[in-house]
Structure 1
């Protein structure tokens, strides 16, 4: 096996308010047969979530990776990281000194995949549709700083914001801001099933088995106009039941590349194998985090002392070492260590794991021990190591003598609705950022209309600190305010960060473009893949 460790330059949390312009490029030519990509992401249309691929509903890394190939956005995150750049737009930027008026001019000749022209009215329709539907996924909250959307002619869209938001260009690069055709999407109703129509680099054809999409066939969109060069004619994404089945398919040559989620054992094996062979392991920058979330109204964890005691007992170093090894690092804040604005707030508050301190916290709050809890996790969304991770957490908490913890695993399609209905007191989740800025590791969890539907609410965070941080175009300047937010989270523990992880792909060595197939936000960039000699 060949191993490529790629530490690509990352400029995170830097935004420029100045008007930006970027010329369009034609898509590149295709090269050979379809490139087949394996994933363990599962795509189901259920009673609770019948519209998994509607941009106004979708809010997880798997479905977003379908939409990013097919639905075009005004802005896009460049493959080399850094500030977002225009995509469907020819230019975008703030046009006032207060950063509350953001204007975009559309690229000329934009068309949907069916040949219909893309106009400013379509952009306005798409944005307002997502905001008005207010799907229970919470994705609409990414557009919460918008006050009104105005069009001028067919090619200019003006966003009037409620307050200054330096992260707004990044938000326009996310699928919830994807441009859809009003002929295909109703204004006030989600689009059920697996059909997606947009103006992005690919056209999607979904192959299904009952309510599940088993293969996503992406063929090059002949009408696409944007900044991306498409290096293939077709990419097929195949869903596997688990990482072992996906790995076997790669070894047999049934697929060309496998991505999330590989098991730690697979990654170690590929990493330690001979440097010769037909498969390359590629290590990439990543901003994935894992955490425990608490329903702060549930009787078992309503007392802050219980949550603080858990934070005092959990041993992140041991957890990472036993389960993930070098593939992850302990995390002491919601904001990853590599992102501007990070602070080790949990370590600063609790220090090293200490059962004695945890016992004192519970005693001072007059909490009887052992505290009985159930830790809930999903069995099939974050990879096969999740069960082992929760077994390790269970051992740590029960080993303290202060807790009586059981664990329960649930498939993702049932786990998400249960979490949103408030059925779990404590549950494990992962977060792949919508964009690489500290705001996106704070606001989705703590702001009004947060995606967790968390009952925890801190008025200082919502009313003062988040808005203050967004006013700072220089994200280094925002770090002080963001640190205050992280310190409050460490004190109140509505969420307990555990670790941040790296990203890996494994591919046949005749596949090119693997260095850029994932960006730091775990965004699949299938257009980068081609065939040829791998370097």
Structure 2
């Protein structure tokens, strides 16, 4: 998902007493005005992406945060920790030693928001539909290893996988596996527009202006049957064009909480605001940013060019000058804190070294300066992105080895479509993990049907290393295979990791449950929020 951050359980436990003390009530949030959550991003319905809230198409963090509250999945990631637990399912588990057959039993009495019964038929329909539609830029790659789905009874679902996959329970916890009503959603086409029919903890109504979602109203679903405890009656999600406007709305009490999108300057301002009615919490994060290369583009098709770029880029300068240390340098697609991480890019290239980059290019017989364009999304990842790419341009051009221009794209869906169509030589992307496992920072980026539609291929990664790690139920045992993948990517440089973000949650002091506002996949857990008493 170009989407998702890790809130460590130990840290959440330490934060809980301090946060709970601010709003001394039962935290139920029942009655009264809705809890208002701000989002500094846009969800759009466009010609390229006409169904932004259809689980078969949605694949970014903001849309997924909407879907998680409106739909159920068989499994879910708990409020803390990483091991998935049953949600629409009563129980789930592998039924063979090879991790190739996964069986779930549904809870009894499940219903969609329109009153229709939710049965195993709907689960099978939802998975089959995702794979049949096979939407470009959608989340179908997460469930590519499903061979077939069987429904022995109305409450039993059996997944047969084409190959072992110990991460399959975690994939069933993502909105890619959201259960839709087979009587409403078309089998072979997207459900266009803004309406949803789900069975999640909330019913959803939306407001939109033109092709943009402006507000999402969540109302506690009285028919919900799942594993969550919903601690409020209503939540309103408002979408802002600008993080500065969102911050001002928080300061004025027009919104109650925001979980991402703040610029480094705003983070510092909130830390030093002196406003006793605001609280800002820093949490460890697993959001990553990276450059991706079209390895078929003549400008960067030679591996030596990409290696030289890796030798010039100064990550420490980026996180200092652009992000004011609200991020940390990253030397692998797998962030620190995730089992299997190694600093493969630092091991291979060390600190920035222009002389070494020059030698790399000379040995490959490449004339300098190498000319290409770095492309980025102007608004999807926040207003600091433009400054970041200006800094990258300066670093590369000052080496005299490159002649780089930068180009910002206004509309996110246009950016994603053009990237997938291989129109960019090099471009910037971010990633929030779909699931808290090293597999999800590696497997989506390689092989046929990969998330970026990247032409990069490596047979050892695709046919040996990733399949081997997926046979390991003990994820610590998979670390050796993950390390090999990271070393190969550091040598081939189809992607260049830049930095790993920290997670910030800002809220009014009368909001309870802030310590559980995001889980280990950076999913926004609005059901944990309540309204207490201002200090």
Structure 2 counterpart of 1:335? 334
TM-score (norm 1): 0.94
Structure 2 counterpart of 1:449? 449
TM-score (norm 2): 0.94
Q: Check if 1:219 corresponds to 2:219.
A: yes
What do residues 337-367 of structure 1 show as CA deviations (whole Å, max 9, x unaligned)?
1100101110111011100110011111111
Query: Aligned to 1:270, what secondary structure does the other structure show?
Result: helix
Partner Cα distance (1:364, 1:194) in 2: 55
Structure 2 counterpart of 1:465? 465
Structure 1 counterpart of 2:398? 399
Q: Check if 1:9 corresponds to 2:15.
A: no
Structure 1 counterpart of 2:185? 185
Aligned residue runs from structure 1 range 168-183, under 5 A? 168-183=168-183
- Per-residue deviation, 1:7: 5.1
User: Is the contact between residue 263 and residue 385 of structure 1 (CA under 8 Å) also seen in structure 2?
Assistant: yes
What do residues 244-301 of structure 1 show as CA deviations (whole Å, max 9, x unaligned)?
1111111111111122211111111111333x51111122232100000000000100
User: Is the contact between residue 56 and residue 138 of structure 2 (CA under 8 Å) also seen in structure 1?
Assistant: no
Task: Say which is worse superposed, 482-491 or 417-426, in terms of deviation.
Answer: 417-426
Query: Aligned to 1:43, what secondary structure does the other structure show?
Result: coil
Structure 1 counterpart of 2:440? 440
Query: Aligned to 2:449, what secondary structure does the other structure show?
Result: coil
Partner Cα distance (1:31, 1:386) in 2: 40
Partner Cα distance (2:147, 2:508) in 1: 48
User: Is the contact between residue 29 and residue 530 of structure 2 (CA under 8 Å) also seen in structure 1?
Assistant: no
Query: Aligned to 2:30, what secondary structure does the other structure show?
Result: coil
Partner Cα distance (1:135, 1:90) in 2: 30
Aligned residue runs from structure 1 range 105-254, under 5 A? 105-254=105-254
Structure 2 counterpart of 1:291? 290
Partner Cα distance (1:285, 1:520) in 2: 10
User: Is the contact between residue 53 and residue 193 of structure 1 (CA under 8 Å) also seen in structure 2?
Assistant: yes
Task: Say which is worse superposed, 280-289 or 295-304, in terms of deviation.
Answer: 280-289
Partner Cα distance (1:43, 1:115) in 2: 28
What do residues 75-101 of structure 1 show as CA deviations (whole Å, max 9, x unaligned)?
000011220000000000011111111
- Per-residue deviation, 1:138: 4.1
Q: 1:417 to 1:10 in 2, by over 3 A?
A: farther
Relative contact order, CA 8 A, sep 6+: which one is greater? 2
Structure 1 counterpart of 2:369? 370
User: Is the contact between residue 262 and residue 383 of structure 1 (CA under 8 Å) also seen in structure 2?
Assistant: yes
Partner Cα distance (1:511, 1:69) in 2: 19
Partner Cα distance (2:370, 2:199) in 1: 53
Structure 2 counterpart of 1:522? 522
Partner Cα distance (1:202, 1:41) in 2: 22
Query: Aligned to 2:325, what secondary structure does the other structure show?
Result: helix
Partner Cα distance (2:374, 2:231) in 1: 44
- Per-residue deviation, 1:534: 7.0
Partner Cα distance (1:221, 1:142) in 2: 28
Q: 1:50 to 1:65 in 2, by over 3 A?
A: same
What do residues 362-399 of structure 1 show as CA deviations (whole Å, max 9, x unaligned)?
11111111111111111111111111111111111011
Partner Cα distance (2:398, 2:346) in 1: 21
Structure 2 counterpart of 1:16? none
Structure 2 counterpart of 1:408? 407
Structure 1 counterpart of 2:19? none
User: Is the contact between residue 29 and residue 531 of structure 2 (CA under 8 Å) also seen in structure 1?
Assistant: no
- Per-residue deviation, 1:488: 0.6
- Per-residue deviation, 1:533: 3.8
Structure 2 counterpart of 1:344? 343
Query: Aligned to 2:10, what secondary structure does the other structure show?
Result: coil
- Per-residue deviation, 1:32: 2.7
What do residues 108-167 of structure 1 show as CA deviations (whole Å, max 9, x unaligned)?
111111121110011000011001111001410100111111111110101111111110
Partner Cα distance (2:326, 2:262) in 1: 11
User: Is the contact between residue 113 and residue 222 of structure 1 (CA under 8 Å) also seen in structure 2?
Assistant: no
User: Is the contact between residue 89 and residue 104 of structure 1 (CA under 8 Å) also seen in structure 2?
Assistant: yes
Query: Aligned to 1:227, what secondary structure does the other structure show?
Result: coil
Structure 2 counterpart of 1:88? 88
Q: 1:114 to 1:10 in 2, by over 3 A?
A: farther
- Per-residue deviation, 1:416: 1.4
- Per-residue deviation, 1:222: 1.3
Q: Give the aligned CA root-mean-square deviation in angstroms.
A: 1.5
What do residues 306-364 of structure 1 show as CA deviations (whole Å, max 9, x unaligned)?
00000010011111111112311111000001100101110111011100110011111
User: Is the contact between residue 288 and residue 521 of structure 1 (CA under 8 Å) also seen in structure 2?
Assistant: no
Structure 1 counterpart of 2:320? 321
